[in-house]
């Protein structure tokens, strides 16, 4: 069964949208197999966003992601990576389809409510950054 990492970012978590977002994923048939609320550190951000280090937007990204608590979630289900990204919608909420997480809960392209792994390789790299094997119940 495929797994993906979702991060409910500080903007959406701080506005109490975590439960609404999780319900969207559950209603789509996905199972939550790990969840935690945490504050991302700059070191954790560097591990997670390693491919973005050195890009002009990286400092602002780290500042945003470390500004307040996030919720890290592992979901499982058939074709979960692709389908969760579809449920999340376009990165820019102005371009996101009606009913998607970002259309409903994101403020802009930067404060866009959620992150989700974009491939099996990304999920395999990202999940252990946030969860140990004993924290995942599959």
Length of the chain, in residues: 138
The predicted pLDDT at position 9 comes to 98
Residue with tokens 């009606």: 98
Q: What mean pLDDT value characterizes the chain?
A: 97
Domain coordinates in residue numbering, the chain: 6-135
- pLDDT tens digits for 26-77? 999 999 999 999 999 999 999 999 999 999 999 999 999 999 999 999 999 9
Q: What is the mean pLDDT of residues 76-84?
A: 98
**Phi/psi at 3 (5° precision):** -125, 155
Marked catalytic residue, from 17, 48, 52, 115: 115
Taking the alpha carbons of 76, 81, 86, 91 in that order, is the dihedral positive or negative? positive
Cα separation, 96 vs 110, in Å, equals 14
The predicted pLDDT at position 69 comes to 98
- Name the superfamily (CATH) of residues 6-135: Nucleoside diphosphate kinase-like domain (3.30.70.141)
Query: Is 17 one of the catalytic residues?
Result: no
How much of the chain, in percent, has pLDDT values that exceed 70?
100
45, 76 Cβ separation under 8 angstroms: no
Question: How many other CB atoms are found less than 10 A from the CB of residue 110?
Answer: 14
């Amino acid at each position: 069964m495929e797994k993906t990492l979702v991060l409910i970012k500080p903007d959406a978590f701080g506005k109490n949208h975590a439960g609404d977002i999780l319900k969207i994923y559950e209603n789509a048939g996905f199972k939550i197999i790990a969840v935690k609320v945490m504050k991302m550190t700059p070191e954790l951000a560097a591990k997670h966003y390693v491919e973005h280090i050195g890009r002009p937007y990286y400092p602002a990204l780290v500042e945003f992601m470390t500004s307040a608590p996030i919720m890290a979630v592992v979901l499982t289900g058939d074709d979960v990576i692709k389908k969760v990204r579809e449920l999340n919608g376009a990165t820019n909420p102005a371009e996101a389809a009606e009913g998607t997480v970002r259309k409903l809960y994101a403020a802009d392209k930067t404060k866009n409510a959620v992150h989700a792994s974009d491939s099996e390789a990304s999920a395999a790299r990202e999940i252990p950054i946030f969860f140990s094997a004993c924290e995942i119940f599959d």
